[in-house]
Structure 1
């Protein structure tokens, strides 16, 4: 995003926060005038947290490097893991092609076929091996019995003791050509142990659900994750594009490969666990100039199963964070504050939208105004991740849909999260027993 647009966005957000702040000060002084006056203090605290998060997010800056630092980064040995399970062959080919099209190439690519049962990858493998040789990249193809994404990653982590950086991607991720070059820059700081890239939906214009998912996903990265990155405390990376100090990963390899929860093997939440290892060892950040594109669900069933898996993983990972994150780190208190907000907002939601709406249905539109306006305000951050394959009017249309995204998260996804917590012992993957989304077109960031 250009500096001019950044200043304009910051001004809009700060003006909105100022006006809303004045509203909260008035509400605290005159609680009887507020239909939700029982929660005036709760609203004021939530507003203060939102202000803090917004200011931190707007303070995020991309890491830049000197010529000397770039030379040091160029010497790092980057090993890439591509776990494959029932992926669309065209999407997998595009993933490998994007890795071979990087301005800074990885030294090694491990393509690990984790026992796919629905797809034959013979043609993709033959093409990939030839293309990698032409680019001077070592490509190693593994075929193994199905053991889950982690086991596919462990194949790489356990067989590359000379790696300096592990680049993890999904088998339907298409990296922008400068993704690796940009993603490596934060490692010029020796305290940085992991780097998250910014992920956008490759199929964001497929249908309404894809647009809403892309909007919700990008906003989450450019608000919550950006604010945590400013403090060196990113809690979870995204699978389509993440980089890790290899030694940190190898130091925890046995724990990573054998995690259990309530006596059951955990097959998901791999990105959050790797990020936690790195967070305990140093700073975890996001590089807002490193982009990847991935296929998002195009059906409600697929969307719900994906979100259910993410929320089960988030709940399980919370126990690890409370146990292992140092209490003198910002990450610990940000994580604690997140759970306090979740529990308090659930209490307010039940009081106002369940019991309150039953007594006074006419109050619901007024109460919904706040989440809708907050959603619009945060949706402005969507413009900060531009892409060359989409016109401005299309991105504006997506932002105009932010009330739908806000209401879906407020009502629908809230219930999914509660169900995920109640069923957290179901630790299987839950998706992709067959090809669920096929590639339609590549993309690039601008």
Structure 2
């Protein structure tokens, strides 16, 4: 039986349902808060009513926008032009788990549109040299007709590792950036290239799902929060061709976007310090300055999420520090006539407004006037969160039944409360400490590991299929799925 690695798709009927429910919940939310505002007195009530009205309009606009996002489907002629492009994959590696690294490389072999070349750069890992993975991949790539290079460099950071890969692929028309734990769905490369049929498109973001989302409560909530954000906030921006941040596990760029900006990419500084993170958002900014940046919902990649709170804290603080620096650059360099500039401004306005209102209702009002908001002030935003997270339920995964995803969807109250409290505090702390520009994770080795079993190298039988050993894929599959994996691999 022929079976893919891991697959997922965004279901259209789920999108329509999420639109209807979100708009209804938003209307109820606005009406409720408008009525409750009257209980705070004339002056305070009028101010709160204005806040709820503005917030409702922003939510309404975002909902309409993210349902306007469409998967690009070019003509047959455009597809032939895309097929002629030289596609190079850039994969930096640093202290990665061998199992996840091999899993990602295996997924390259199973692509419906294989990359022309894959360039792996070991950025001076201290936890191992990946000798077995290197030897296996060199043989497997040769059998599959994929040109490949594998370099080991002194530890200089992810950007320098990517640059080393760029320098050995001067013929590339499109660069696809992945992480060392990225496991591409079988059609990911084919799908992520489709928007490039439009000349103005300069970069394309894929949709990121978690490989290890069933590990514990933290990974489930993170996957719920992250996927919902991509299919609401990023989808809304994509509809306007103004995606602000591509995700590291899967993004595609026209080659000149990276080549022409390589020097500034490697030498970015903030407050006199070299910036080691926020690489994906900087590449996206370069693309925005040249044209449109979009998301392709049908291009899916799986990645490993933090499984411990300490690891998550480091990752999220790095994101928030990078977001602060990148926001300043967007305000400085993006044209005020573009949607991306105003989207960035509105985003920070929402953060400031929501923080101010939360502080007013929970601190100032009780202390100054002795009034406290009713419990429904918490219940209604949770309903909004559940409504938006219907987009999460609209993602159909090959390794998970809908009832399991529904169980994760029910965790949205925890995600909402955590976003209001823990993540909000971490956001502001990250902003205050944005001068700390070091990477901060994997210094002592891989922080997430994939259990593997010893397995023989990939072989190519006479029927032109690659039989992938059960490890490391077996851990990822649903117990009810087929135990033997056979992946069709046409030969060029």
Smaller-chain TM-score bracket: over 0.9
What corresponds to 2:262 in structure 1? 253
Query: Pairwise mapping of residues 115-130 of structure 1 onto structure 2 (< 5 A)?
Result: 115-130=124-139
Counterpart CA distance in 2 for 1:300 and 1:28 is: 37
1:228 equivalent to 2:240? Answer no
Deviations 1:234-260 (A, max 9, x none): 000000000001011111110001000
What corresponds to 1:431 in structure 2? 441
The count of corresponding residues between Structure 1 and Structure 2 is 444
What corresponds to 1:175 in structure 2? 184
Query: Pairwise mapping of residues 264-413 of structure 1 onto structure 2 (< 5 A)?
Result: 264-357=273-366, 363=373, 365-413=375-423
Counterpart CA distance in 2 for 1:207 and 1:35 is: 43
Shift in Å at residue 362 of structure 1? 5.5
Structure 2 vs 1, CA of residues 334 and 118 (structure 1 numbering), >3 Å: closer, same or farther? same
- Structure 2 length as normaliser, TM-score? 0.86
Structure 2 vs 1, CA of residues 376 and 34 (structure 1 numbering), >3 Å: closer, same or farther? farther
Counterpart CA distance in 1 for 2:380 and 2:43 is: 13
Shift in Å at residue 29 of structure 1? 8.3
Shift in Å at residue 22 of structure 1? 4.3
What corresponds to 2:481 in structure 1? none
Deviations 1:73-94 (A, max 9, x none): 0001011111100000010001
| Greater mean alpha carbon deviation, residues 322-331 or residues 16-25 | 16-25
Structure 2 vs 1, CA of residues 171 and 36 (structure 1 numbering), >3 Å: closer, same or farther? farther
Secondary structure of 1:342's partner? helix
Aligned Cα RMSD in Å? 2.0
Of residues 145, 151, 156, the one that matches 1:142 is: 151
Counterpart CA distance in 2 for 1:136 and 1:67 is: 24
Larger Rg: 2
Shift in Å at residue 361 of structure 1? 8.2
| Structure with higher RCO (Cα < 8 A, 6+ apart) | 2
Secondary structure of 1:161's partner? coil
Counterpart CA distance in 1 for 2:374 and 2:93 is: 46
Deviations 1:103-155 (A, max 9, x none): 00111101000000012300000000000000000110000000000010111
| Greater mean alpha carbon deviation, residues 362-371 or residues 335-344 | 362-371
Structure 2 vs 1, CA of residues 69 and 212 (structure 1 numbering), >3 Å: closer, same or farther? same
Structure 2 vs 1, CA of residues 39 and 91 (structure 1 numbering), >3 Å: closer, same or farther? same
Of residues 93, 102, 120, the one that matches 2:102 is: 93
Counterpart CA distance in 1 for 2:125 and 2:367 is: 50
Counterpart CA distance in 1 for 2:400 and 2:97 is: 23
Secondary structure of 1:386's partner? strand
Structure 2 vs 1, CA of residues 199 and 443 (structure 1 numbering), >3 Å: closer, same or farther? farther
**Aligned partners of 1:94 and 1:442 also within 8 Å:** no
Deviations 1:305-355 (A, max 9, x none): 100000000000011100111111100001001111111222112212233
Counterpart CA distance in 1 for 2:322 and 2:248 is: 13
Of residues 178, 194, 216, the one that matches 1:185 is: 194
Gaps of 5+ in 1: none
Gaps of 5+ in 2: 1-9, 452-474, 479-492
Counterpart CA distance in 2 for 1:413 and 1:70 is: 42
- Structure 1 length as normaliser, TM-score? 0.95
Deviations 1:183-219 (A, max 9, x none): 0000000000000000011100000000000001001
Query: Pairwise mapping of residues 8-47 of structure 1 onto structure 2 (< 5 A)?
Result: 8-23=17-32, 32=41, 38-47=47-56
What corresponds to 2:428 in structure 1? 418
Counterpart CA distance in 1 for 2:36 and 2:367 is: 24
Counterpart CA distance in 1 for 2:367 and 2:407 is: 34
| Greater mean alpha carbon deviation, residues 332-341 or residues 20-29 | 20-29
Counterpart CA distance in 2 for 1:316 and 1:373 is: 33
Secondary structure of 1:428's partner? coil
**Aligned partners of 2:208 and 2:301 also within 8 Å:** yes
Counterpart CA distance in 2 for 1:364 and 1:258 is: 51
Secondary structure of 1:255's partner? helix
Counterpart CA distance in 1 for 2:401 and 2:371 is: 41
Deviations 1:372-418 (A, max 9, x none): 22211211110122211011111000100000001101100000011
**Aligned partners of 2:362 and 2:373 also within 8 Å:** no
